[in-house]
Amino acid sequence: MKFQREIKGKLFVISGPAGCGKTTICSSMIEHASGLIDRVVTATTRKPRSGEVDGVDYYFLTEEAFKNKLSEDAFYENALVYGNYYGILKSEIQSKIENKKDLFLSIDVQGVANLAKLKKTDSFLQECMASIFIMPSTLDELKDRLTSRNKDHSDEINKRLKVADDEMQQWESFDYCLLSSSKEEDLKSVRYIYKAEKLKV
């Protein structure tokens, strides 16, 4: 008897508080995957920044076009952020998964909650989606990471830490919870999860 199985792609949703390293993990997995892993290109109504390319960085849509897609139930998840709409197109995920591409998506905890709710009734997501929560070892460690990025003022960091405290209580709703260590160890753990999911029947 010849062993045979239908291979499709997997969707790995990485989340955790700001500063936990989820974006770095996604970028590293894609960079070292020799074309086997791709990123999820999201749609937005914001204007392209210098050097950004439509269909590569984002799908840049007019507000009218975005709302039309909303009415067509074309998004898995969407949000209004600082006056601009952002959304994850179903077609973007489904077409790549069907073409045997694995996808990594860095998203906030609320976004994962919305996807997890959809997953309960969506057979496609049930087959392909795995969620991973990156848990900071302590809030003090997270504060050090946020401070070292030199991106935010102290007031903004304190706001992010308050949000992080709430987000860290939601780890049980994820498929995997990774207690964060060094960047290298976190990436190694995600690679183990990736391999396990690819072998799952």
Q: What one-character-per-residue DSSP string does 131-185 give?
A: EEEEE-S-HHHHHHHHHHTT-S-HHHHHHHHHHHHHHGGGGGGSSEEEE---HHH
Please report the pLDDT score of residue 97 as a whole number. Answer: 95
| Domains identified in the chain and CATH numbers | 11-39+100-199 (3.40.50.300)
> Whole-prediction pTM value?
0.84
Please report the pLDDT score of residue 28 as a whole number. Answer: 94
Q: Give residue 2's identity as a one-letter amino acid code.
A: K
> 122-158, pLDDT tens digit by residue?
999 999 999 999 998 788 788 887 887 766 677 778 8
Please report the pLDDT score of residue 21 as a whole number. Answer: 85
Please report the pLDDT score of residue 152 as a whole number. Answer: 65
Low-confidence ranges of the chain (pLDDT < 70): 1-6, 150-152
Please report the pLDDT score of residue 200 as a whole number. Answer: 84
